[in-house]
Amino acid sequence: MSDLIKIAIDAMGGDGSPKKIVDGIIHNHKINNDNFYKIYGNKNEIENYIKKKIDQNFFEIIHTTNSVKSTDSPLEAAKRGKDTSMWMAIESVKKKDADIVISAGNTGALLVIAKLNLKMIENIDKPALSALWPNKKGMSVVLDLGANIECNKKNLVDFSIMGASLYKSLYPNENPNVALLNIGSEELKGNEIIKETFQELNEKKNDNFNFAGYIEGNELMNGEVDVIVSDGFTGNVALKTAEGTANFITTELKKALSGTILGKISSLLNISNLRRFKKRLDPRLYNGAIFIGLDSPVVKSHGGTDYIGFSNSLNVCNKIIKGNLIDKIKNNIK
């Protein structure tokens, strides 16, 4: 079993834990049998949910009754001690007992505790929070999504390299197009930092990605760009806007197709198309934000997702390790 990918899991973070987390692990194991799950949390509760549904050769439970609360500030979370399920899971990758760590818990706490335990990759000043984003042709990587409100030119150049490395880890046969999120496509648009970053990326050719210039908010889902780079403030606003728009569209479409007899008949006639539409916008498929820039990968699952979403984030963990993300960043950042 030494060739299994070891995933350290904070089982006590997020809504409905640990049951949702354990159900996600069980579901993931059914479709992926090359993961070993190191589960940190209350052993009595976890054992009750796992109930021999996974061969014992594929998991280990590390007991602790202490956990980070969703209401904790990052400082309060750190002060809870080194015996919280989140701290212990992160520490396991520091000690090389696990390859990657994942939590559905408090995002601010996860970022702070990760930074306390793990070193930065050499030549990177700030880590970034990145995630997958659906587009017309497949998926894009977007970063930063809130870890760094203010960024300088070097940070944005680093994010470009890290984002491209992440994309290549997930899609090994692709050479990604990278673009800077901006208020226009012309070179003169944007603030000084954006324009300086554009100039550097445009002049310094990179073998690992193609620089595609600027991208505007209305083009994010066109599928022409694979990696979208911004500061954390702009990226977070764009993400929340996209999520809100997707929810609005699906809610209003559901109302329109169920509010009248004609709408119900139309929905029955188009049921296969509607199912494809619903699946395309299903946020569970894109669950799993990645905190990159540290010397070990840290994945954040959405706290409100269900077991299917958590299982999908475990798939992301598997791909990151198989794709040698950290080595790719170290080689490219030079």
pTM: 0.85
- Look at phi and psi of residue 213 and say left if phi exceeds 0, alpha if psi is from -120 to 50, else beta: left
**Quick one: tokens of 199?**
């100039």
- pLDDT, residue 6, reads 96
pLDDT top residue among 81 and 46 = 46
Would you list the domain boundaries of the chain?
1-124+293-334, 132-283
Select 132-283's CATH number: 3.40.718.10, 3.40.50.880, 3.30.420.40, 3.30.540.10: 3.40.718.10
Burial of 301 per CB tally in 10 Å (0-12, 13-18, 19+): buried
Inter-residue contact 39 to 12 (CB < 8 Å) = no
Average pLDDT over residues 49-71: 92
- pLDDT, residue 283, reads 59
Residue 280 confidence (pLDDT) above 60? no
pLDDT in tens, 6-35: 999 999 998 898 999 999 999 999 998 899
Phi, psi dihedrals of residue 162, rounded to the nearest 5°: -65, -40
- pLDDT, residue 282, reads 58
Cα distances from 87 to residues 16, 81, 83, 93, 272, in angstroms, run 20, 8, 7, 10, 45
- pLDDT, residue 83, reads 93
Residue 284 confidence (pLDDT) above 70? no
* CATH number assigned to the domain covering 1-124+293-334: 3.40.718.10
Task: Decide if 1-124+293-334 and 132-283 have a common fold.
Answer: yes
